[in-house]
Amino acid sequence: MLVLMRALPTLVLAVLIAVPGAALADEPIKVFGLEKLHWGMSADDAVKAVPALKAAGAGFSAKDYVHGGCKFTVTGDIAEGRLVAITVTSVENDPDCPLNIKTMIDEAYGLPYDSNTLNDGITFGWKKGSTRIDSTQSPLLDYNHARVEMWEEVPAPAKAP
């Protein structure tokens, strides 16, 4: 079983290489209880998939979205009819939030590839498949309060020879 588990990442990588673009199609959002959302879906489909979300302009939003016992605001950006970005911001007056946001993202996307220390906190960056995530977290609040920006990173079109 251990041998299979060690070989599985290589197998998955081989499948992704063998089917270009397959990993980019309909990649789900793996955090904040938004697993029913995926890049490329419409705002109407997002609102149907996650009832806490409400249509707002060309996108969607939720002011008191609850996940992991914590309250967040969520906004989704739609461009050309496709979900391309989501911002999740913790509600700062929620001192009892038990969710460690960095740990949750690490579990879904692996360890961050980048981190920067700023005056007001630490910014971490993750990238997996077509999903890119930046999270700015405050060390004064045990990393439970953050602004998390997620977006679909689409490769540049290939140039004609």
Instruction: List C-alpha distances in Å: 121 to 115, 135, 146.
Output: 11, 10, 9
pLDDT value for 27:
85
pLDDT for position 159: 65
Q: List per-residue pLDDT tens for the chain, 161 residues long.
A: 444 344 333 222 222 222 333 344 578 899 999 999 999 999 999 999 999 999 998 899 999 899 988 889 999 999 999 999 999 998 876 666 777 888 889 999 999 988 888 766 788 899 988 899 998 877 665 556 788 999 998 765 666 66
C-alpha distances out from residue 1 to 5, 7, 10, 48, 139, Å: 6, 10, 15, 39, 39
Phi and psi dihedrals of 8, rounded to 5? -55, -45
Q: Where are the domains of the chain?
A: 26-152
Q: What is the pLDDT of residue 92?
A: 72
| φ/ψ of residue 138, rounded to 5 | -95, 120
CA dihedral 50, 129, 107, 46 (to 10 degrees): 0
The answer to whether the predicted template modeling score (pTM) of the entire model surpasses 0.85 is no
What pLDDT score was predicted for residue 81?
A: 92
Longest dimension (CA), the chain: 58
